Amino acid sequence: MDKKLKIIDLFAGIGGIRLGFEKIGAECVFSSEWDKHAQDMYEENYGERPVGDINDVNPKDIPDHDFLLAGFPCQPFSIAGKQLGFADTRGTLFFNIEKILEEKKPYGFLLENVSRLVTHDKGRTFKVIIDKLEGLGYTVYYKVLNTIDFGLPQLRKRIYIVGFKDKIHFQFPKPDGTKLTLEDILEPEKDIPSNYYVSEEIKKKDFQK
């Protein structure tokens, strides 16, 4: 029997990145998300509640895993030191990812962030991230992808960063030509219960002033 791929889900939101990995048979052994409402929805989706602030978790206490997943927030890094280009990631949420990768040494990772991370601080922030990941021994690939090119009716550009311990040749997926509109995924109005609509009383009260 093949070994089951183990993942951890950091800055998990409601679990969108995890969903893709579970569809190929991966098992999530740890999740973290600090927002209570996101935790509630995550628990509804997966039957487990993520632990809270990742800053309160010792990397040594995180279960061993094969892939680290993280939709981490973009934060500025402080540029300091006498040598030009020296950067310290401490105090940023990327530092948590860095420390976990350093401690647990998973085979690979998938990181996701807003597309402006690439140009933040004239590209210096992104360079620090890539340098740190490569310094931990990973072969790193990255690309900005837009959800509208992959079957979702939304313009949502995100930078995806993947890395592997082996020097493998990796390619990001190419758009499949599918273009959907919002109308394509919404339920027909006749099938939507009336209690989801604004009542006539509220309409008169709030919209006809």
Could you give all domains of the chain from N- to C-terminal order, each with its CATH number?
Answer: 6-177 (3.40.50.150)
Where is average pLDDT lowest: 48-52, 116-120, 135-139, 165-169?
116-120
Round to whole Å and give the CA distance between 89 and 124. Answer: 12
In the set 74, 144, 148, 152, the catalytic residue is: 74
Is residue 137 classed as helix, strand or coil in its secondary structure?
coil
- Average pLDDT over the chain reads 85
**So what's the pLDDT on residue 145?**
92
**So what's the pLDDT on residue 147?**
87
pLDDT grade, residue 32 (50/70/90)? very high
Please confirm, yes or no, whether 28 is among the known catalytic residues: no
**So what's the pLDDT on residue 82?**
39
> Does position 81 have pLDDT exceeding 80, yes or no?
no
> Does position 191 have pLDDT exceeding 90, yes or no?
no
Strand partners, 140: 163
101's tokens: 């990768």
The residue type of 149 is D
Query: CB count, 10 Å around CB of 203?
Result: 11
pLDDT tens across 36-59, in order? 999 999 999 999 999 998 889 999
**So what's the pLDDT on residue 86?**
44
> Does position 209 have pLDDT exceeding 60, yes or no?
no
**So what's the pLDDT on residue 206?**
59
pLDDT grade, residue 2 (50/70/90)? low
Higher pLDDT, 113 or 203: 113
pTM of this prediction?
A: 0.81
Name the strands in the sheet holding 139-146, side by side, starting at the edge strand that comes first in the sequence: 27-31, 6-10, 67-70, 108-114, 157-164, 139-146
Contact 132, 89 (CB under 8 A): yes
Higher pLDDT, 93 or 107: 107
Round to whole Å and give the CA distance between 120 and 45. Answer: 33
> Does position 116 have pLDDT exceeding 80, yes or no?
yes
pLDDT grade, residue 207 (50/70/90)? low
Round to whole Å and give the CA distance between 185 and 8. Answer: 30
> Does position 172 have pLDDT exceeding 50, yes or no?
yes
**So what's the pLDDT on residue 112?**
92
